[in-house]
Amino acid sequence: MLSATTAGCVLAGGLLLGGVVPSALAADANASIPNTLLQGGWVNEQTTTVSAWVKAGERFTVNLHPLKAGSGDAEGESAGGSAVVKDPTGKVLASKTYSPGAGPDQVVSGDYVAPADGIYTVAVSDIADGKMVNLVWDIGVKSTSGEAIAGRVWSTSWGLQSGAKTSFATNSERASTFTLHAITETGARYDMTLRDYDGIGSTVQANNKGNVKIGSSDPSYLSVPMQRSAEADGIGADYFQSSNREKVEGLQTYKLFLDPPAADLPESIAPKYSAPTISDLAFKRSGTGSNAGTLTGVLGTQPGTVKVTIDADGDGSYDGEKDVSLTTIVAKPGGFSVAWDGKDAAGDTVDITDPAVTFRATLNRTNEFHFTRVDTEASRGGIEIRRLSAGDTDASTVYWDDSLLVPGNAVRESTTPLTSNGKNGVDSTGGVHGWDGETETRNPNTGLSGSYGDYRSIDDYTFGTDGAEATAPLAALEPHVTLTKTSTVPSDQKLVPGQTVPYTLTLTSDGSGDWAGGTVTDFLDDGVLDDATLDTASIKASSGTADIEESTGRIIWTAGTIPAGQTATLEFTVTLNDAAGISEDRELVNTACLAAPGEAAALQRSVAAASTASNECATVPHTIGEGKLWIKKSTEQAQVENGGTGEFQILVGNSGDLDATDVSVTDVPSLEHFTNATITLPDGTTQPADTPVTGLDIPAGGQVLLTVSGTVDSGYQAVTIPNRAKITEQPPGFTPPTVENPCIDDATSSCTELTTQKIPGQLDIKKTAHEESTSHGKEAGFDIVVSNTGKRTAENFTLRDVPNLEHLRDVTISRDGGTKSAFVDHIDGITLKAGESTTLSVVGTVADGTDAWTIENRATLTNLPGGFEPPTVQNPCTDDAAYSCADVTVPKVTVATPPKPGGFLASTGADSGPFLIAGSSLLLLGLGAVTVTVIRRRRNTATEQ
């Protein structure tokens, strides 16, 4: 759980605990440097960062606030700035920005329980250069029980102002005495004690460089004026304080703890010290004409200054008049090198054949430790430095050189007893290299007045005395050459048929003597010429001659003499055959072998690109890739409706092991029945279908899908819509594409087609009678129902009706219950949508009479739209199935036989005389309408259509 507080209140476990965070922790653990205010500092680029190692469950405590309120300009006041507290993850736990003159009520404080081990940080920043934030500070670590833990808090550079009081009776009341405890990056330990230290905008830091001259990364071993000081004609501008790793190569910044470092610190914070070592010491000449060359070696554990002595006269000692002494500063463990010109101390050339010349490298200044007091107004008790590891001798010896500073005079109001202590150093026990600060102008910051330390960076340095030593001989001249074979095409990159492959043979004379010659044979006939052709014009030797062996095609290179340290090269190229000319193994293996003068090279394929003692051959292998694309045109639509959307799929795949780039596919749609055709690309964009698709990239084993879509023409007939596509561009060296669903007329294109289903028209006609029977003089009626049972509209067809009008009069026709009109035997221009129907009614009056009649009515459909099937006829006529028929029967009227005159009616026995005559007359009157003469014969349907 992480807990936090502001304004002096501690939040822990979710409860607000009353009380104020104490201004100091337990007496045995320091949470600040006594009587100091914390600031950013100019040397620190305006930010001092304080770090603390906190273990899981422990507490990180912090309390920061200005000493007193004011304008921000007076001593002890805050000129403005900020403070930021972060946890090990970088999360900001608390922060505050201070305005100039902020008072002590502006507090950043907290008591944070660590959920895991890690480093907490507090960054205190000045508002500007020379405008210091100046905060009273307490930063510490507590155990789970609340006890202070010592040795967990450090900074690599402390920005300080002395005097954490609101007022002072004397200048000496501002001073403080304290000890900082340092750990170097390789584990060496030092303690620094400052007595009566007093600085206003001062910085104390420790590293392995001290004051560095601009343009160099080596220590200057000098105390220097500040960069903007006018002292000594502004010479301080040539130097800077090395607190930034980016500006100084090999800089190591040392942690300065408030207490002796805790024993449980991890090695990443407090490395374990290991004694220095020197290994792999060897000398290599630059050429064979002299002993000039380079001595190299490795510092295994500790950095330091390496001293190289050369027994140039070969007498076994290293302190003779002709013996040479060289030094180099090695900033961190690792390799080092020292150049020698091959001459002795007198400047004479050392005999190249003298086997007694030897080299000795000595490391006896490890963990160089520079402690700088920057812009410190008073350091009355001086400095005491004690080395706790890295050697037992001279543990408290300190060195300095103030010779660059103008000696103390009437302008400088204090001085130091020694400005230069010589090469033997001074025992710092009790404090040395101090100066008084009781001056009239305490902090002029001009470099021309004030105390000895004002506006200066005073460097006190020391180093470890543990040593290491190694020796190396000056080896006799021994020629040796190494053959390497390379190609600018990496071996793990598959080759493409037709590709040009460059090779370089390099002979490196890596011995100590000149290599006097021999030959190199490149066995092109073994692994190359079965798949490629040598480009003879490309052969170029930097040394010697190169010939082609006619019987084998091998290159024989005679390089001549190669001086030690020099190289010779042979370059040439081969061009792979096209895809059809690549061998089945698809391997291009080029091996070159070295042979001594007069000997023939023996082929022995190598697994390495450089020759060795056991194999004088070098091999560069390649695999020839296979570029193989395929295309398939298909459709997922078995049929498509007229007027609908048709789609084709073009699938382009890469079945080879070479990536394909810039592939082009051309689609050839048939646009006769297909409009608005587009093609959808893999990225979702579209383009006209007849525009080639270019720039497709298809990785080995991959595929891309292109979709062609368009609108099928409206209509009712079955049509076929063909579509074809082909790969029109592919990378060089690829085999011809494999085509699935090849076109009959062009096997390089893939074809498929869409079909539309014919939509037949279908009408239905049905003739029925209103009543199957009627009487003379009564109404007879027929209905003709025409239905569109198909899936398309029937337009402008004709209904033809053929009623038998022989026994009908006053015949009318009507449609769908509409107005009756005089009968016509055909109706043109009928239109019915799919599923619609219409009913036509034919009605007439049956003629008078007594005979039995059958009144027939038939109808048919003509002038059908194109593509319509013959109508379905219900109730077809027996003599012509194209007509639908219906009949109405009129029964016969039976008339009784008249009795003889004077006789009796059979039914009554009455006299038939006058009564009979009268009855007959009545009967005739009653049948008058029936006995109308028939005016039309029955139609012959064969002639009426």
Q: What 3-state class would DSSP assign to 4?
A: coil
535 found inside a domain: yes
In the listed set 755, 777, 805, which residue is the last one of a domain according to the structure?
Answer: 755
Please determine, for residue 928, whether its predicted confidence score (pLDDT) is greater than 50. no
The predicted pLDDT at position 622 comes to: 96
pLDDT at 2 > cutoff 60: no
Same domain, 120 and 240: no
Among 890, 914, 929, the domain boundary falls at 890
On whether residue 164 sits in a domain, the answer given is no
**Same domain, residue pair 379 and 255:** yes
Beta 36-39 vs 81-86: how paired, if at all?
Answer: unpaired
**Cα dihedral sign for 161, 163, 165, 166?**
negative
Residue 382 zone, left/alpha/beta (φ > 0; ψ -120 to 50; rest): left
Same domain, 491 and 602: yes
Considering 403-412, 423-432, 580-589, the range whose residues carry the highest mean pLDDT is 580-589
Predicted confidence (pLDDT) at residue 910 exceeds the cutoff of 50: no
- Residue 550 domain-assigned (yes or no): yes
Choice between 813 and 476, residue whose per-residue pLDDT is larger: 813
Same domain? 774 vs 716: no
Helix, strand or coil, per DSSP, at residue 173: helix
Name the residue range of residue 711's domain.
628-755
Dist CA 199 CA 134 (whole Å):
12
**Distance between CA atoms of 52 and 725, rounded to whole angstroms?**
71
pLDDT band at residue 443 using 50, 70 and 90 as cut-offs: low
Q: Residue 331 has what pLDDT?
A: 84
Instruction: Indicate if the pLDDT at residue 887 is higher than 50.
Output: yes
CATH value at residue 572:
2.60.40.1530
Question: CB of 454 within 8 A of CB of 374?
Answer: no
Residue 392 sits in the same domain as residue 417 = yes
Q: Flag whether 318 is in a domain.
A: no
Q: For 457-512, how does the pLDDT look when each residue is reduced to its tens digit (9 = 90+)?
A: 999 999 988 889 999 998 888 888 999 999 999 999 999 999 999 999 999 998 87
Residue 78 lies in a domain: yes
When pLDDT is cut at 50, 70 and 90, the band that residue 897 belongs to is low
Same domain, 700 and 639: yes
Number of domains comprising the chain: 5
Write the single-letter amino acid at 218. D
CATH code, domain with 642: 2.60.40.740
pTM of the model: 0.56
Residue 153 — φ and ψ, nearest 5°?
Answer: -115, 135
Kindly indicate the confidence band of residue 9, based on its pLDDT and cuts at 50, 70 and 90. very low
* Element housing 440 (H / E): none
Indicate the pLDDT class of residue 901, thresholds 50, 70 and 90.
Answer: low
More confident residue, 404 or 423: 404
Confidence of residue 412 (pLDDT cuts 50, 70, 90): confident
Mean pLDDT of 406-435: 78
DSSP state letters, 180-221: EEEE-TTS-EEEEEEEEEE-SSEEEEEES--EEETT--SB--
Q: Do 719 and 837 reside in the same domain of the chain?
A: no
pLDDT digits (tens, 9 = 90+) for 820-856: 999 888 999 999 999 999 999 999 999 998 889 999 9
In this model, does residue 188 exceed pLDDT 60? yes
> 726 and 640 in one domain?
yes
Mean pLDDT, residues 784-806 taken together: 91
Other beta carbons less than 10 A from residue 802's beta carbon: 21
Band (444; pLDDT cuts 50, 70, 90)? low
Tell me which of 579 and 759 has the higher pLDDT: 579
Among 564-568, 786-790, 876-880, the range scoring the smallest mean pLDDT is 564-568
865-880 tens-digit pLDDT: 988 899 999 999 999 9
State residue 931's pLDDT score.
30
Q: What is the pLDDT of residue 922?
A: 31
pLDDT-based confidence at residue 446 (cuts at 50, 70, 90): low
Can you give the pLDDT at residue 3? Answer: 35
Is residue 75, in this structure, part of any structural domain at all? yes
* Band (102; pLDDT cuts 50, 70, 90): very high
At 234-291, the pLDDT tens digits run: 999 999 887 665 778 888 899 999 999 999 999 999 999 999 999 999 998 887 778 8
- Residue of 744 and 449 predicted with greater confidence: 744
**More confident site: 422 or 475:** 475
The verdict on residue 165 lying in a domain is: no
798 or 476, greater pLDDT: 798
Mean pLDDT (the chain) is 87
Q: Region 38-56: what's the mean pLDDT? A: 94
748 and 870 part of one domain: no
CA distance 568 to 700: 39
Considering 729, 755, 781, which residue would you say is the last residue of a domain?
Answer: 755
What pLDDT score was predicted for residue 662?
Answer: 95
Q: Could you tell me if residue 524 is left (phi over 0), alpha (psi between -120 and 50 degrees) or otherwise beta?
A: alpha
pLDDT at 813 over 90: yes
Instruction: State the pLDDT confidence band at 543, using cuts at 50, 70 and 90.
Output: very high
Q: Find the CATH number of the domain harbouring 37.
A: 2.60.120
Other C-beta atoms lying within 10 Å of the C-beta of residue 535: 14
Q: What is the pLDDT of residue 438?
A: 63
pLDDT band at 233 (very low <50, low <70, confident <90, very high): confident
If asked whether residues 65 and 136 sit together in one domain, one would say yes
Residue 938 has pLDDT above 80, yes or no: no
Q: Band of the pLDDT at 168, cuts 50, 70, 90?
A: confident
Is position 528 within any domain?
yes
Query: What count of residues does the chain have?
Result: 945
d(CA 227, CA 447) in angstroms, rounded, equals 10
Given a cut of 70, whether residue 440 has pLDDT beyond it is no
Question: Which among 316, 308, 309, 296 is positioned nearest to 356, based on CA atoms?
Answer: 316
- pLDDT digits over 385-398, tens only? 999 988 888 899 99
What is the band of 439 on the pLDDT scale with cuts at 50, 70, 90?
A: low
Clarify whether residues 795 and 872 are in a common domain: yes
567 and 655 share a domain? no
